[in-house]
Amino acid sequence: MAETAAKLPEIRFGRRPESYVHWKLEFQGDVARLRMAVQEDRGLNPDTVLKLNSYDLGVDLELADAVQRIRFEHPEVRCLVVTSVTPRIFCAGANIPMLASSGHAFKVNFCKFTNETRLYLEDLSAASGVRTLCAVNGTASGGGYELALACDWIMLPEDGNTAVSFPEVPLLGVLPGTGGLTRLVDKRKVRRDLADVFSSLAEGVKGRRAVEWRLVDEVVPSSQFQAAVERRARILADESAQATPLRAAPGVPLPDLACERDDARDDGGATTFRWAHVTMKVLRGERRAEIEVRAPESVPSSLDEIRAQAAGWWALRCFRELDEALLQLRFNFLDVGLVLVRTKGEAAQVIATDELLQEHAGDWFVGEVRHQIRRVLKRLDVTARSLFAVIEPGSCFAGTLFELVLASDRTYMLDHPDEANHVQLSEMNGGAYPMANGLSRLDTHFLGEPEKAREALSVNEPVDAATAMKMGLVTFAPDDIDWEDELRLAVEERSSLSPDALTGMEANLRFAGPETMETKIFGRLSAWQNWIFQRPNAVGERGALTSYGKPQRPEFDWRRT
């Protein structure tokens, strides 16, 4: 089956509210309203019709952008109301013909992105204090109900028709792909037997039963629904104002990220992306990419200067650029299996930036930048690519940028007798950027030796390759004689292994430690969905997903595995 991504023009990720096609974002005082209005004929694939407010990747890219802009551009917002413009339809979930015609990799990457977007909605509430209300003003099925589940409060009109449902198992032969099953039992504490019944009912549950089963928080007669939504939004906004300090400063506009692209014809099919602080070179013929992150050339001297630099501040812009690089890899370069991560610049500048991030953590803008860095690093954690950090003279793997080392599967650090090569930790490595498991990457790295994490944090100075190796901060530290051969052999070996086996191995090893709702979504759910998306019962010629909307009935292989 051909990949949908190959049929589409290359996916571009920048979005702006004035160019949204599928959402309407409005602001009234401290309440924002995000209303879904999917245009059927404006999907990323012109052959896909987005009926019933069903969504494709383009719809979700706009949703992710809206959440990001609320955080940075509208600090006055205390409550976000998510609803639909379309009468009697909230959202029918992911577009089924789009999924049915997609190749395996695109389906998995699409689900991963929608998972991240729902988690960003939850993070908007947990980290930024913006409470979220989903006014389900019509049928919400599959991914539509999963969108509601990501909000703090769910309201439903009691009109005899509006229901919430997960039809994936009975109708499509797949799972709710955006964490729905996990949120039912982990987040909303729905009883397991009731969740079992609900997830097997294609028609879903409505009215009072939806409240009794904890599927929604409130049902209201249709005639009173809009007034009740306004009243609840006011309650949530006031609760937010009491719980977190007012963010009175003006917002920070997020401009488009300028990027130069070079498709070289004489370099083995290389494509190079150059942003202000990040460069990514994709070597398609070698199925490899190289990402270089550069340190800031200068550092603000005060909070006022940080505010003046706004979205141009290195700590924000650099990680916005890295985020876009990761999305480029995920959707536009599926054959890339290994990413070499490098840094360049003065480590002291990174450490100085970390000191600002720590000193002004209570400022709303600096706080949002910290949250942004955390979210981008989480996207790196779930990138289905092998990650090798390469530390050479001139590198600046220090503090926040040392998180790139801790996120990598292996680290190679050159031990050169004549050229200085150092790494350095800062306070930011001690828990400012927790992983999905709730631990810092340093604590996860030293899960069996927590005292080594504490010792590493106590060293407030650069350390060379031999010391970093002794401290357990790097995997290998070859000398200058063996460096090129060892790195070359490691790259060749990794590139020769099965990408499926590597994806499974890396996903298992990256999330050591406690299990959380988020690790279940990206580990357990992704693993099962990855498998189900390849099974004939779902995507075969007579599979349930392939047969949906056609006169033929699905045919199953009834053997359990």
Alpha carbon 245 to chain centroid, angstroms: 27
Helix (H, G, I), strand (E, B) or coil at 4: helix
Q: Would the pLDDT of 110 be above 70?
A: yes
Give residue 9's pLDDT: 67
According to DSSP H, which parts of 219-363 are helical? 225-243, 303-309, 314-332, 347-359
For residues 353 and 366, give the distance between their C-alpha atoms in angstroms, rounded to a whole number.
11
Torsion of the alpha carbons at 395, 496, 386 and 343, rounded to the nearest 10 = 10
Q: How confident is the model at residue 5 (pLDDT cuts 50, 70, 90)?
A: very low
For residues 392 and 422, give the distance between their C-alpha atoms in angstroms, rounded to a whole number.
8
**Would you list the DSSP string of 93-130?**
-B-HHHHHHS-HHHHHHHHHHHHHHHHHHHHHHHTT--
Give residue 168's pLDDT: 95
- Bridge partner list, 138: 88
The answer to whether 281 touches 341, Cβ cutoff 8 Å, is no
Q: Would the pLDDT of 321 be above 60?
A: yes
Q: Would the pLDDT of 266 be above 60?
A: no
Q: Would the pLDDT of 428 be above 70?
A: yes
Residue whose entry in the numeric block shows the structure tokens 């996120």: 407
The answer to whether 385 touches 112, Cβ cutoff 8 Å, is no
Residue whose entry in the numeric block shows the structure tokens 């909230």: 90
Q: Would the pLDDT of 226 be above 80?
A: yes
Residue whose entry in the numeric block shows the structure tokens 């052999």: 489
The answer to whether 302 touches 312, Cβ cutoff 8 Å, is no
Pairing of strands 338-344, 288-294: parallel
For residues 38 and 114, give the distance between their C-alpha atoms in angstroms, rounded to a whole number.
16
Q: Would the pLDDT of 243 be above 90?
A: no
**Would you list the DSSP string of 346-363?**
-HHHHHHHHHHHHHTTTS
Give residue 528's pLDDT: 87
Give residue 7's pLDDT: 56
Helix-, strand-, coil-residue percentages of the chain, each rounded to 5:
45, 15, 35
What are the pLDDT digits (tens) for 276-287? 999 999 998 999
pTM of the model: 0.95
Residue whose entry in the numeric block shows the structure tokens 């790259």: 491
Q: How many CA atoms lie within 13 A of 186 on its CB side?
A: 13
Give residue 511's pLDDT: 86
Q: How confident is the model at residue 4 (pLDDT cuts 50, 70, 90)?
A: very low
Q: Would the pLDDT of 8 be above 80?
A: no
Paired tokens of 454:
């504490």
**Would you list the DSSP string of 18-53?**
GG-SSEEEEEETTEEEEEE---TT--SSTT---GGG
All domains in the chain, ordered by first residue: 4-242 (3.90.226.10), 260-504 (3.90.226.10)
Q: Would the pLDDT of 147 be above 80?
A: yes
Report the interhelical angle of 314-332 vs 104-126 (nearest 10°): 150
Q: Would the pLDDT of 209 be above 50?
A: yes
Give residue 6's pLDDT: 40
For residues 528 and 436, give the distance between their C-alpha atoms in angstroms, rounded to a whole number.
18
The answer to whether 373 touches 319, Cβ cutoff 8 Å, is yes
User: 525 vs 53, 203, 386, CA distance in Å?
Assistant: 25, 23, 21
Q: Would the pLDDT of 159 be above 90?
A: yes
Give residue 275's pLDDT: 98
Q: How confident is the model at residue 264 (pLDDT cuts 50, 70, 90)?
A: confident
Tell me the average pLDDT across 82-102. Answer: 93
Q: Would the pLDDT of 265 be above 80?
A: no
For residues 107 and 287, give the distance between their C-alpha atoms in angstroms, rounded to a whole number.
21
Report the interhelical angle of 347-359 vs 314-332 (nearest 10°): 110
Residue 9, number of CB atoms within 10 A of its CB: 8
Higher local confidence (pLDDT), 246 or 119: 119
The answer to whether 254 touches 68, Cβ cutoff 8 Å, is yes
Q: Would the pLDDT of 3 be above 60?
A: no
Tell me the average pLDDT across 395-420. Answer: 97
- Bridge partner list, 94: 55
Paired tokens of 143:
């991914």
Q: 229-234: long-range contacts (C-beta < 8 A, 24 or more apart)?
A: 229/81, 229/83, 229/133, 229/135, 229/155, 232/133, 232/153, 232/155, 233/31, 233/79, 233/81, 233/133, 234/31, 234/79
- Bridge partner list, 375: none
Q: How many CA atoms lie within 13 A of 355 on its CB side?
A: 11
Tell me the average pLDDT across 57-64. Answer: 97
Average pLDDT, the chain: 94
Q: How confident is the model at residue 269 (pLDDT cuts 50, 70, 90)?
A: confident
What are the pLDDT digits (tens) for 462-510? 999 999 999 999 999 999 999 999 999 999 999 999 999 999 999 899 9
Q: E strand or H helix at 537, and its extent?
A: helix 536-539
What are the pLDDT digits (tens) for 435-454? 999 999 999 999 999 999 99
Q: Would the pLDDT of 126 be above 90?
A: yes
DSSP 511: T
CA-nearest of 257, 316, 266, 326 to 291 is 326
Torsion of the alpha carbons at 412, 417, 421 and 425, rounded to the nearest 10 = 80
